[in-house]
Amino acid sequence: MFLGAAAPDAVAPVLIELGVVVLVLAVLARGADRVGISPIPLYLIAGLVAGEGGLDLLRLGEGMVAVGSEVGVVLLLLALGLEYSGDELGASLRSGLPAGLADLVANAVPGVLFGLALGWEIRAAILLGGVTYISSSGVISKVLRDLDRLGNRETPSILSILVLEDLAMAVYLPVVAVLLTGGTFLAGLVSVGAALLAVAVVLFVALRHGPLISRAVLTRTDEALLLGVLGTTLLVAGLASRLQVSAAVGAFLVGIALSGPTQERASRLVSPLRDLFAATFFLFFGLQVDPANLVPVAAVAGALAVVTAATKVATGWWAAARAGIARPGRLRAGTALIARGEFSVVIAGLGVATGIEPELGPVAAAYVLFMAIGGPVLTRLSDTLAARVRPAT
Amino acid sequence: MAEVQETPLPGVGVRYDFITTEGDRIGVLAHRTGRRELLVYGTDDPDACRDVVRLDPDDTHTLAELLGTSHVSERLNALQQDIEGLTIDWLPVGADSACVGRTLRESALRSETGVSIVAVVRGDETIPAPGGDFALARGDTAVAVGTAEGIKELFRLLQQG
């Protein structure tokens, strides 16, 4: 890691390799923007092509990419926590709970059942349930912006579901992290209890005393704020990981705890860093999956994609109907929610890291490729489709 | 005035919308970043926006001005919040006020209340920085800067005392 200390001729190839990697990511991001899709599937494909079983290009910088990908997960979750204020979480919890529960049941259960049907052990099946459950708030908010749908009347229903999925992650991730470490039932129970208690305490403090915490972190210079927030997040993530609670949860809680002006500024400052490291993370996930393993699971992943696209549409349709939205709007809400992306990869990444099920990585990769590309396309089509659905209530 | 519906959008901002007298639904999406979007809803699909106009803060002010909303008072409101402990207010001069017809020096308003009269609005005319020999007249509006207490006291003096 300490490039300055190494001999210059050892440094040069590493820098060149990293430079090429980042440039390739840049080209992919540009291309994705040009055609109006999320760059996430392209990063995954780049990883698949460059990794083991593919061209096996990345050798020297792999260690750095691995560390970068860990930081990527932490920053993704920090940004997720920063996205919503405590008040917004509370309000969504009060008004959107039925829709949130329907979303959880309708979309996590198919994943779990598919996992079990494939003969996986229950923990891997639970991970696959997480992969199919969580919509990509990054992809969806970008699509809503691009299509000028933020002002639409069905949009609050969509956002409320996304907020509740994020909250569900705060519970899901620590539980899964504990399940994956194994150990005795009692030890697991204690760890889960401790993790959930920490989540509850942070949420409570953030809701009640958010401004206090934020004032303590707030400084005048952007530089000091960025370093402060980043340092705190990495430290908390590291400690959480040491306590078997998963680094991601720690980072998420730091994001939640910040509010008000600190939250807005921190979120603006962190986002370029998140983009860099998250790209590294998707690439690294692709690197770990052998493309030869994708082919046999493609049919399974495709079937899972069709089923869970349908369940998301049903969820969105129902949530929008509860909010008094007419049928075209319900269809828009449903199709908008189809996209899965960053957090599905994060969840699958947890399983891949522990190696509990060799098929999990390939299935999740193929699934995310389908959903991150297909979801936005279906959302765009929904306007044409909606024209055929009579706007009756 | 029509009833304005306020809908929070987590992670985005707040949406305000209402139905016009003629039955069209229009709204404003206030982004957290300060950007605004003007929303015009469709008639065949009541939930979708037929048109979305993006406005930066400057555009917002221009549009507000054209629509006849007081852009000046909005600016001054912001100012009032910025300067801690300092209040700006427009105070009408009542017919019964002892100050009517007397110069500012004679009524000694500043030494009594600690509040400065920085301008006087008389009809269509604005007199900036009135001097000591300036006499207030009935129907004038004094633009005063000072502490909240002082402003209250001055208001009382300009009404009666």
Q: Find out whether A357 and A150 touch, Cβ atoms under 8 Å.
A: no
Amino acid at A266: A
Residues of B in contact with A148 (CB under 8 A): 49, 52
> Which of B7, B27, B45 is nearest residue A391 as measured by Cβ atoms?
B45
Vertex A283: Cα angle to A350 and A312 (nearest 5) = 60
Cβ of B32 and A264 within 8 Å? yes
d(CA A269, CA A236): 19
Q: Is the pLDDT of residue B75 over 70?
A: no
pLDDT digits (tens, 9 = 90+) for A39-88: 888 998 888 888 776 666 666 667 777 888 889 989 988 988 888 777 77
Please report where in the chains the tokens 């809503």 appear, as a residue: A144
- How confident is residue A145, by pLDDT bands cut at 50, 70 and 90? confident
Q: Is the pLDDT of residue A306 over 90?
A: yes
Q: Find out whether B47 and A153 touch, Cβ atoms under 8 Å.
A: yes
Q: What is the 3-state secondary structure (H, E, C) of A102-168?
A: HHHHHHHHHHHHHHHHCCCCHHHHHHHHHHHHCCCHHHHHHHHHHCCCCCCCCHHHHHHHHHHHHHH
Q: Find out whether A236 and A253 touch, Cβ atoms under 8 Å.
A: yes
The ipTM, to two decimals, is 0.73
d(CA B159, CA A292): 88
- How confident is residue A112, by pLDDT bands cut at 50, 70 and 90? very high
Q: Is the pLDDT of residue B113 over 70?
A: yes
- How confident is residue A332, by pLDDT bands cut at 50, 70 and 90? very high
The CATH superfamily holding the domain B87-160 is Regulator of K+ conductance, C-terminal domain (3.30.70.1450)
pTM recorded for the entire structure: 0.74
Q: Find out whether A283 and A93 touch, Cβ atoms under 8 Å.
A: no
pLDDT digits (tens, 9 = 90+) for A183-219: 677 777 777 787 778 778 877 777 777 677 777 777 7
Q: Is the pLDDT of residue B71 over 50?
A: no
What are the strands of the beta sheet with B25-31, ordered from one edge? B5-9, B13-19, B25-31, B36-41, B49-55
pLDDT in the model for residue A6: 54
- How confident is residue A1, by pLDDT bands cut at 50, 70 and 90? very low
pLDDT in the model for residue A390: 57
For residues A330-344, give the mean pLDDT: 92
C-alpha closest to that of B67 among B82, B79, B55, B51: B55
pLDDT digits (tens, 9 = 90+) for A226-271: 998 999 899 988 888 887 667 887 888 888 888 777 888 888 899 8
Q: H or E stretch including A223?
A: helix A222-242
Cα-to-chain-centroid distance, residue B123: 18
Cβ-Cβ contacts under 8 Å for B127 (sequence gap 6 or more): B119, B120, B121, B134
Residues 45 to 64 of B: which have CB under 8 A from any A CB?
45-49, 52
Strand stretches in B56-156, DSSP E: 87-92, 116-122, 125-128, 141-146
Q: Is the pLDDT of residue A393 over 50?
A: no
Any idea where the domains of chain B sit in the sequence? 5-84, 87-160
Which range has highest mean pLDDT (A154-158, A192-196, B8-12)?
A154-158
% of chain A exceeding 90 in pLDDT:
28
Which of B80 and B41 is assigned the larger pLDDT? B41
Vertex A75: Cα angle to A155 and A123 (nearest 5) = 85
Vertex A347: Cα angle to A344 and A348 (nearest 5) = 85
pLDDT in the model for residue B110: 83
Lowest mean pLDDT: which of A176-190, A222-236, B74-88?
A: B74-88
For residues A303-330, give the mean pLDDT: 93
Amino acid at B141: T
Distance linking the first and last C-alpha atoms of chain A: 60
Of B24, B31, B43, B47, which to mutate for an interface test with A (greatest number of A Cβ within 10 Å)? B47
d(CA A43, CA A26): 10
DSSP category for residue B20: -
What are the strands of the beta sheet with B87-92, ordered from one edge? B87-92, B141-146, B116-122, B125-128
Mean pLDDT for chain A? Answer: 84
Amino acid at A100: G
Q: Is the pLDDT of residue A382 over 50?
A: yes
Beta-bridged to residue B157, according to DSSP, are none
Residues of A in contact with B39 (CB under 8 A): 151
For residues B91-118, give the mean pLDDT: 84
Residues of B in contact with A160 (CB under 8 A): 10
Q: Is the pLDDT of residue B59 over 70?
A: yes
pLDDT in the model for residue A317: 94
Q: Find out whether A107 and A312 touch, Cβ atoms under 8 Å.
A: yes
Q: Write B55-59 long-range contacts (CB < 8 A, 24+).
A: none
Instruction: Give the torsion through C-alpha atoms of B33, B30, A340, A48, to 10 deg.
Output: -30
Q: Cβ of B93 under 8 Å from any chain A Cβ?
A: no
Q: Is the pLDDT of residue B81 over 70?
A: no
Cβ of A391 and B11 within 8 Å? no
Closest-CA distance of chain B to residue A357, Å: 36
Q: Is the pLDDT of residue B155 over 90?
A: no
Lowest mean pLDDT: which of A1-15, A93-107, A316-330, B10-24?
A: A1-15
Q: Find out whether A195 and A245 touch, Cβ atoms under 8 Å.
A: yes
